[in-house]
Structure 1
Amino acid sequence: MPDKTNPKELIWIIGASEGIGAALARYWAKQGARLILSARSDARLNMLVSELGSEHLALPLDILDPNQIKVAADKLAHFGPLDRVIHLAAQYDPGKIADIDLKTAAQIVSVNLTGCLHIAQLTPPMLRKDGQLALCGSVAGYMGLPQGQIYSATKAGVINLAESLRVELQGKVDVRLISPGFVDTRLTQRNAFSMPALMQPDDAAKAIYRGLNGGQFEIHFPRRLTLALKLLRALPYWASLRLTRRLVQ
């Protein structure tokens, strides 16, 4: 685990231009960390770095391009080994399976799952020994829920990927899984239903910060939602599917 007593941790946050990523960048900057902030949006990243201070770096990045990640790694090499890589980038498009636009679905799979795989493959050598790689799943990946496709399916894949990495990189990299519930962002504002236990990005950032500085593999929040969903997942299908069916009635 990264050294929590070091006020100048070097942290790369991918998906930092808005929402949870931007809130986490602001929170970690207040703790004295040096940040490399990545997303596809140059303008938002530059605005955030201007807000946080010149010691932080904006590094625009398309996670679907492994060559861009390699170029970014070369640019960051002179900074020294990273203490943490926190990967939050994702796309979301709620809807029923019958209504999914296949081109949109393919893009979501590419960003949420393939992009995550690129980060998982290319960033571990950039970390110091026992440095931290955190991947962002979602409680939507715990089980198939109505209106969650194709996002839910990709997040189930991220959860599986993080579990595998935790074992494969044991003793080398501290792999963590972040599983947020509903957080009030531009993405979730597309939901047409009432979101239980809705959190603000600042509160989500604090939960992630505490969790990554703790010892648990999975950081999931808010507990009143996540524990209920974990219980639902643990039930036999005859019970869990009967309960989830009520969500569309």
Structure 2
Amino acid sequence: MSFEGKTAWITGASSGIGAALAREWAARGARIILSGRDEGRLAAVAGEIATDTLVLPFDVRDDEAMLAATEKAIGWRDGVDIFVANAGVSQRSAAVDTDMSVYREIIDIDLTAQIAATQALLPHVTARGSGHLLFISSIAGKVGVPMRTAYCAAKFGLVGYADALRAELSQQGVSVHVVCPGSVATDVSRNALTADGSKRGRSDKVIDNGIAPGEAARRIIDAVAANQREIIVAEGMEEAMGEMRRTQDQLLDQVAGMVAAGYMDKMKAES
């Protein structure tokens, strides 16, 4: 699959996996739309890319700003071919110690806001009858990991939304991909929320020694090009855990087959 001339819109694009995906897709000939909260950091990433770029800064929790950004993205060049729901925040705290506000914040950012952004874009991609929707979950979205109960809840939820959406769109030419990274060398641990909602401020050794963001981006985009539905980007024990919990293609095919056989039409008629 060639990405030449396609437009990829990436949220959480100011650093880490998001910025690396922007660089890699640009290197493969795609136009890039960069979104995140920090306009200056987005502009710096745009400055590294030798392709057509658009910077659309907004906070994913601001519905009004998100809808305005969606309208601009759709109206730029030839519309959006690839959308990456990548914005997110992690956690490092035991459930018994964690304030409920932390659960609400992480689930709002990592799950609800990602669903809202996708829902806003759905009429565009379904009308075009083509495109790719990517949801950056985590190995912690397939396996419950201690000290990350809120993060796991949000990332498991994102997988569920994506899997159901994939089935619904399976007859409409739109591909849905779930990406489950393990440890990637980003600031995810440093920026993680602690029990009271404050930033942790320090990284983990396993994260610092993780997969380079550029390598993770290359693997992800190669898998998208191969139309792989669930993409595990991990090594060692994390890879083994992810593979143990991988959703089998046979099951994904079975659910898509329900849609092809008229399941949704029947449900609509009965409602």
Same fold by TM-score greater than 0.5: yes
Given that 2:142 and 2:245 are in contact with CA atoms closer than 8 Å, whether structure 1 keeps it comes out as no
Which residue of structure 1 lines up, in the alignment, with residue 96 of structure 2?
Answer: 98
Mapped partners of 1:28, 1:202: distance in 2: 11
Q: Percent identity?
A: 32
Letter in 2 for 1:11: A
Q: Deviations over 1:209-244 (max 9, x none)?
A: 11111122111112543333442789xxxxxxxxxx
Mapped partners of 1:6, 1:23: distance in 2: 16
Q: Deviations over 1:20-66 (max 9, x none)?
A: 11111111111111101100111100111122147211110222122
Which residue of structure 1 lines up, in the alignment, with residue 34 of structure 2?
Answer: 37
Mapped partners of 1:192, 1:199: distance in 2: 13
Give the stretch that moved more between structures: 124-133 or 55-64.
124-133
RMSD across aligned positions (CA): 2.2
Indicate whether 1:226 and 2:239 are aligned: yes
Letter in 2 for 1:138: S
Given that 1:94 and 1:150 are in contact with CA atoms closer than 8 Å, whether structure 2 keeps it comes out as no
Which residue of structure 2 lines up, in the alignment, with residue 130 of structure 1?
Answer: 130
Which residue of structure 2 lines up, in the alignment, with residue 5 of structure 1?
Answer: 2
Letter in 1 for 2:58: L
Residue 191 of structure 1 and its aligned partner are, at CA, apart by 5.0
Mapped partners of 2:245, 2:4: distance in 1: 40
TM-score by length of 1: 0.85
Question: Relative to 1, partners in 2 of residues 1:232 and 1:64: Cα closer, same or farther, differing over 3 Å?
Answer: closer
TM-score by length of 2: 0.78
Residue 73 of structure 1 and its aligned partner are, at CA, apart by 2.3
Mapped partners of 2:28, 2:223: distance in 1: 15
Give the stretch that moved more between structures: 35-44 or 143-152.
143-152
Residue 94 of structure 1 and its aligned partner are, at CA, apart by 1.2
Letter in 1 for 2:67: K
Give the stretch that moved more between structures: 153-162 or 97-106.
97-106
Which residue of structure 2 lines up, in the alignment, with residue 72 of structure 1?
Answer: 69
Mapped partners of 1:113, 1:6: distance in 2: 27
Tell me, which stretches of 5 or more residues in structure 1 are unaligned?
235-249
Mapped partners of 2:131, 2:206: distance in 1: 38
SS in 2 for 1:135: strand
Which of 78, 82, 85 is equivalent to 1:84?
Answer: 82
Which of 226, 229, 242 is equivalent to 1:217?
Answer: 229
Aligned residues: 231
Q: Deviations over 1:76-105 (max 9, x none)?
A: 224223111111110112111012132232
Q: Deviations over 1:85-129 (max 9, x none)?
A: 111110112111012132232211110011111022111223332
Given that 1:143 and 1:233 are in contact with CA atoms closer than 8 Å, whether structure 2 keeps it comes out as no
Tell me, which stretches of 5 or more residues in structure 2 are unaligned?
191-201, 248-271
Which residue of structure 2 lines up, in the alignment, with residue 24 of structure 1?
Answer: 21
SS in 2 for 1:104: helix
Mapped partners of 1:133, 1:180: distance in 2: 16
Mapped partners of 1:48, 1:37: distance in 2: 8
